[in-house]
Amino acid sequence: MTESTNSRVDVLMLGTGEYTTGYVHGKASQSDKTKGVVALTLIDLRRRGKTNRLGMCGTNGKKLGDIRKHMQQAIGDAYKDMDLTMDWW
């Protein structure tokens, strides 16, 4: 049986901080969450065919470019086949 994208869930993450992205106060977190937890998990679930469209919503757009760069270095460059494509608000 082939799983279609219709059976995958779309997920909106609310918040862009330490637990979601591992990015806090302009740099990677100094805790054990340097890669975050929430986004990393959902990106991996998409790689495994469980999630589909991902979105991230923060308090403002000023740091989203830096967060994207951080996630590319912490997740995209560190793990194989991790698609970081998502919508940002």
Judge whether 51 lies within some domain.
yes
pTM as predicted? 0.85
HSE toward the beta carbon, residue 48, CA cutoff 13 A: 7
pLDDT given for residue 51 in this prediction: 95
pLDDT given for residue 1 in this prediction: 46
Paired with 88 in beta bridges are 56
Judge whether 36 lies within some domain.
yes
Structure tokens at 71: 């996630």
Judge whether 3 lies within some domain.
no
Helices (H), 1-89: 18-21, 38-47, 64-71
Judge whether 32 lies within some domain.
yes
Judge whether 76 lies within some domain.
yes
Averages of pLDDT over each 10 residues, the chain, 89 residues: 71 94 87 90 95 94 91 93 94
Domain range spanning residue 65? 14-88
Number of independent structural domains in the chain: 1
pLDDT given for residue 4 in this prediction: 56
